[in-house]
A and B are shown apart, each in its own frame.
Chain A
Amino acid sequence: MIEFRGVSKRFGDDVAVDDFSLVIPPRQVTVLVGSSGSGKTTLLRMINRMVDPTSGVVEIDGVDVQTVAPVALRRGIGYVMQSSGLLPHRRVVDNISTVPRLTGVPREKARARALELMDVVGLDRALAQRFPIELSGGQQQRVGVARALAVDPNILLMDEPFGAVDPIVRSDLQQEVLRIQRETETTIVFVTHDIDEAFLLGDQVVILAQGGRIVQKGTPEEILAHPADDFVASFVGSDRGKRRLTVSTRTGQGDDRVLVDAGGYPVGVIEAPGGKLAIGDASPKARSISNKTD
């Protein structure tokens, strides 16, 4: 579990974060979402001490991160950034095994593990000997995720990792993240400015305004159904009609109904086999909810 208590950060006269408090539950995906200047990246980077708060406390499992040496801390936390941050002069397999090698894992063992991780993130092992520059953006991001997972971390930090890839690749990568989280039950803290991505990935979504001010936090369903104020409503688009759906009176396929948004554009189909509406899962992401307590 990660906890922020009364955290503030100033850079000179610039207040990036002001009195921020949040509990990030373990084994879930928490998404920090907001526009530029909302301090979300700064907050993320406080977890692995890339940034130290001006005041306030950041704790991981009850331990103040200030009491832990930065290098040791970072070697146990996975970190994925937007530009993948791979070492360009090292091959894929060496990139993935960077941190295990730093901690003294023998080379052959580290490489074997790296190859396994390539399977986990959905990369063909044939790419292992390539250099990052020879890979596409999506592939580089996968390598970045594999590298982050190489330390078997309890915590995975992801800073707008899919911002620079195109939508089809991004969608693939988002699904990979969900799958990996399901399998490894890692605590993921994810930063994005894309509300749709936040709703897709987040168990807990935290909407931030300037200075790290929490405007609303909760599950995607809660936020979408009950936006706290106009800012949130505007941010999630519920005032723009995209999210307000009605059933079209023009018939669809047989008994199925067609949903249209406020602009009249068809956005989906409700299945109604035999004239009865199909009921979906309460949690659309269908993740396994752990029975373990904190």
Chain B
Amino acid sequence: MTWLWNNLGLILGLTADHARLSGIPILVGFAASIPLGWFASRSRVARAILLTGFGILYTIPSLALFVVLPVILGTKILDETNVVVALTIYAIAMMLRGTIDAFGSVSGDVLESARAQGFSSVSRFWTVQFPLAGPVLLANLRVVSVSTVSLLSVAALIGSGGLGYLFTNGYQQYFLDEIVIGIVFTVLLALVFDTVLVIVGRILMPWNRPKVVRTSALRTPQRDWVGA
């Protein structure tokens, strides 16, 4: 543990970098997936193209994408942009499916009645679909957030900043403590992000109380039954 105190500055610096390099993809990914998801929920063609395209990108292992992007984008491999772009692509890919489903699942009746009341397409989106889809979007975003924080550590292999450095360095120095510290701080960062998201969710969507979904009487012969 002395190592921890001795190098606290370094570790905190790495954590800050990690937060920045993963935070941007999370936010941009979320922001980008909203319009993309909305288009895709309305158009079969858009849905097919987007889902297939991002599906393919998501299937490509992260290290491969980290390596190939600089070549395609024309940036240097050590440029942070590569990592941020790659993680953003993954974030969008992870969110897209859920976003499409969330917007698509807003009940047709609700939308129809909004249309009948005179809401335009855009305002329908902001006043009806987005708020109702909110909880699902938030749940997806939390998953994406955790995954992105974890994924960034892989970028250390191409020399990127962030807590992943502790893993490569710890391996080269054969130093277990350093690796454990790396894992702990990564998890802590993921927790912080998650908590922030939950709090933001509570503030923006005060009507959303966690629902306890109860099953029907038919589960098992003796199951407790909530009468219909």
Contacts and interface: CB of A to CB of B under 8 A. Distances in A.
B221 A51 contact: yes
For the side of the interface on B, what is the size category?
A: under 10
A11 B221 contact: no
A272 B41 CA distance: 67
A50 interface: yes
A36 B228 CA distance: 7
A229 to B, nearest CB: 24
B171 interface: no
Contacts of A50: 221
Contacts of A45: 221
Interface of B: 221-222, 224-228
A16 B227 CA distance: 8
A49 B224 contact: no
A52 interface: yes
B224 A12 contact: yes
Nearest to A41: B217
B2 to A, nearest CB: 56
Contact of B225 (A16, A49, A52): A16
A52 to B, nearest CB: 7
Nearest to B220: A50
Interface residues of A, number: 12
Contacts of B228: 36-37
A70 interface: yes
Contacts of A36: 227-228
B221 A52 contact: yes
22 contacts: A11-B224, A11-B225, A11-B226, A11-B227, A12-B224, A14-B225, A14-B226, A14-B227, A16-B225, A16-B227, A36-B227, A36-B228, A37-B227, A37-B228, A45-B221, A49-B221, A50-B221, A51-B221, A51-B222, A52-B221, A52-B222, A70-B221
Contacts of A70: 221
B84 to A, nearest CB: 47
Contacts of B226: 11, 14
Interface string A17-55: 000000000000000000011000000010001111000
A69 to B, nearest CB: 13
A280 B75 CA distance: 96
A49 B220 CA distance: 11
Interface in A50-83: 50-52, 70
